[in-house]
Chains A and B, each alone.
Chain A
Amino acid sequence: MTQRRGGGFTLGAAITLSYLAMAIVAWFWTPYDPATLNIVDKLQAPNWHHWFGTDQLGRDVLSMIMAGAKISVGVALLSVIIGVLVGVPLGLLAAARGGTLDELVMRGNDLIFAFPSLLLAILITAVFGPGAVNAIIAIGVFNIPVFTRVTRGGALGLWTRDYILAARVAGKGHSRISVEHVLPNLVGLLVVQGTIQFSLGVIAEAGLSYVGLGAQPPGISWGRMLNDAQTLTALAPSLALYPGFAVLFFVLGLNLLGDGLKSRRAS
Chain B
Amino acid sequence: MTALLAIDSLDVHIGDVHVIKKLSLQVQAGEVLGLVGASGSGKSMTALAVLRLLPPRARLSGSLRLRGADIGAMTDAELQAMRGRDIGMVFQEPMTALNPLMRVGDQVAETVRLHGAASRAAAHTLARETLASVGLRDDLTGDRYPHELSGGQRQRVAIAIAVVLRPALLIADEPTTALDVSTQAQVLVLLRELVRERRMGLILVSHDLAVISQVSDRVAVMQDGAVVETGASTALRQLHHPYAKALLAAAELAPKAVTPAFAVAVAVGGTAIAALSDAAVAAGAAINPILEVRGLVRDYPGRRRSLWSAPPALRAVNQVSLTLYPGENVGLVGESGSGKSSLLRSILALDPVQAGEVRLLGEAFSAARGSALRRLRRSIQAVFQDPYGSFDPQWTVARLIAEPYYLVEAAPNAAERRRRVAMVLEQVGLAPSDAARFPHEFSGGQRQRIAIARALITEPAVIVFDEAVSALDVLVRAQILSLLDDLSARLKLAYLFVSHDLNVVRAIADRVYVMQRGRIVEEGATAQVFASPQHEYTRALIAATPRIGAAPI
Using a CB–CB cutoff of 8 Å, the interface residues on chain A facing chain B are 161-163, 165-172, 180-181, 184-185
Closest chain-B Cβ to A260's Cβ sits at a distance in Å of 22
Closest to A172 in B: B406
Instruction: Judge whether B404 is part of the interface by a CB distance below 8 angstroms.
Output: yes
User: How far apart are the CA atoms of A166 and B402 in the complex, in Å?
Assistant: 12
* Alpha-carbon distance A167/B406, docked complex (angstroms): 9
Query: B364-404 CB contact bits vs A (8 Å, 1 = yes)?
Result: 00000000011001001110111001111110000000011
**With the chains together, A161 CA to B394 CA distance in Å?**
14
Set A162, A168, A185: member contacting B393, Cβ < 8 A = A185
With a cutoff of 8 Å between Cβ atoms, the chain B residues found around residue A185 in the complex are 392-394
The reply to whether A163 and B407 form a contact with Cβ atoms under 8 Å apart is: no
Cα(A166)–Cα(B453), bound, Å: 12
Q: Which 5 A-B pairs have the closest CB atoms?
A: A162-B384, A170-B404, A162-B390, A162-B389, A171-B407
Minimum CB–CB distance from A7 to chain B (whole Å) comes to 21
Give the Cβ gap from B420 to chain A, nearest Cβ, in Å: 15
Cα distance, A167 to B348, chains bound together (Å): 12
Q: In whole angstroms, how far apart are the Cα atoms of A172 and B451 in the complex?
A: 17
Q: In the bound complex, what is the Cα–Cα distance between A170 and B454 (angstroms)?
A: 10
Which interface residue of A161, A163, A172, A180 has the most chain B CB atoms within 10 A? A163
Contact (Cβ within 8 A) A169 B381 = yes
Question: Please, which residues of chain A bring their CB within 8 A of the CB of B350?
Answer: 165, 168-169
Are B382 and A169 within 8 A (Cβ)? yes
- In the complex, the answer to whether A166 meets B407 with C-beta atoms within 8 Å is no
Q: Given the complex of chains A and B, what is the CA–CA distance between A21 and B399 in angstroms?
A: 39
- Whether A169 and B377, one on each chain, are in contact in the complex, defined by CB atoms closer than 8 angstroms, is yes
Please, which residues of chain B bring their CB within 8 A of the CB of A163?
A: 389-392
Q: List 20 A-B contacts (CB under 8 A).
A: A161-B389, A162-B386, A162-B389, A162-B390, A163-B389, A163-B391, A165-B350, A165-B384, A166-B390, A166-B391, A166-B454, A167-B403, A169-B380, A170-B406, A171-B404, A171-B406, A171-B407, A172-B403, A172-B406, A181-B392
Return B282 CB to nearest CB of chain A, in Å. 37
Contacts of A166 in B (CB 8 A): 382, 384, 390-391, 403, 451, 454
Within 8 A of A (CB), among B95-146: none
Residue on B nearest A182 in the bound complex, by CB: B392
Most chain-B Cβ atoms within 10 A of its Cβ — which of A168, A181, A184?
Answer: A168
Report the minimal beta-carbon distance from A168 to chain B, rounded to whole angstroms: 5
A171-B389 in contact (CB<8A): no
What are the residues of chain B within 8 A of A162 when measuring CB–CB? 384-386, 389-390
In the complex, which residue of chain B has the Cβ closest to the Cβ of A158?
B392
**A172, B392: Cα distance in complex, Å:** 14
B33 to chain A, nearest CB (A): 36
Please provide the chain B residues from 406 to 447 with a CB less than 8 Å away from any CB of chain A in the complex.
Answer: 406-407
- B residues near A170, Cβ cutoff 8 Å: 377, 403-404, 406-407
Whole-angstrom CA separation of A168 from B373 in the bound complex: 12
In the complex, besides A162-B385, A166-B391, A171-B404, 8 extra interface pairs with C-beta distance below 8 angstroms are A163-B392, A165-B382, A165-B384, A166-B384, A166-B451, A170-B377, A170-B404, A170-B407
B390 contacts which chain A residues (CB < 8 A)? 162-163, 166
Report chain A residues within 8 Å CB of B382.
165-166, 169
Q: Are A184 and B454 in contact (CB under 8 A)?
A: no
Q: Give A223 Cβ to nearest chain B Cβ, in Å.
A: 41
Cα distance, A44 to B389, chains bound together (Å): 65
Q: Chain A's nearest CB lies how many Å from the CB of B366? A: 14
CB-based nearest B residue for A184: B394
Q: Distance (Å) between the CB of B187 and the closest chain A CB? A: 27
Q: Which of A161, A165, A167, A171 contacts B374 (CB 8 A)?
A: A171
Q: What residue of chain B has the Cβ atom nearest to residue A165's Cβ?
A: B384
**B348 neighbours in A (Cβ, 8 Å):** 168-169
Closest residue to A166 on the B side, CB-wise? Answer: B390
A162 to B447, CA, bound (A): 13
Known A163-B391, A163-B392, A166-B403; judge A171-B373 contact (CB<8 A). Answer: yes
A184 surroundings in chain B (CB, below 8 A): 392, 394
Q: In this complex, which of B373, B385, B393 has the most chain A Cβ atoms within 10 angstroms of its Cβ? A: B393
Write out the residue numbers on chain A whose beta carbons fall within 8 Å of the beta carbon of B404. Answer: 169-171
* Chain B residue, CB-CB nearest to A160: B389
Most buried by B among A161, A162, A168, A180: A162
CA A134 – CA B377 in complex, angstroms?
51
Q: With both chains docked as a complex, state the minimum distance between the C-beta of B365 and any C-beta of chain A, in angstroms.
A: 12
Q: How far is the CA of A161 from the CA of B393 in the complex (A)?
A: 11
**Shortest CB distance B382–A (Å):** 5
Minimal Cβ-Cβ distance residue in B for A168: B350
User: Given A163-B392, A165-B384, A166-B390, do A171 and B454 touch, yes or no (CB 8 Å)?
Assistant: no
Q: How far is the CA of A166 from the CA of B454 in the complex (A)?
A: 9
Which residues of A have CB within 8 Å of B377?
169-171
Per the bound structure, the CA–CA distance linking A264 and B99 in Å amounts to: 27
1/0 per position for B150-188, CB-CB distance to A under 8 A?
000000000000000000000000000000000000000
Cβ of B106 to closest chain A Cβ, rounded Å: 30
Bound together, the chains give a CA A63 to CA B353 distance in angstroms of 68
Alpha-carbon gap, A261 to B391, bound state (A): 24
Q: CA separation between A161 and B395, bound complex, in Å?
A: 15
Q: Residue on A with the closest CB to B403?
A: A170
Q: Residues of A contacting B393 with CB < 8 Å? A: 185
Closest Cβ of chain A: how far from B128's Cβ, in Å?
37
CB neighbours of B454 from chain A (8 A): 166
What is the CA–CA distance of A184 and B389 in the complex, to the nearest angstrom?
Answer: 16
Contacts of A180 in B (CB 8 A): 392
Q: How far is the CB of B460 from chain A (nearest CB, A)?
A: 10
Give the chain B neighbours of A181 by CB distance below 8 A. Answer: 392
Q: Which residues of A contact B391 (CB under 8 A)?
A: 163, 166
CB distance from A29 to the nearest CB of B (A): 41
**Chain A residue nearest to B375 in the complex (CB):** A171
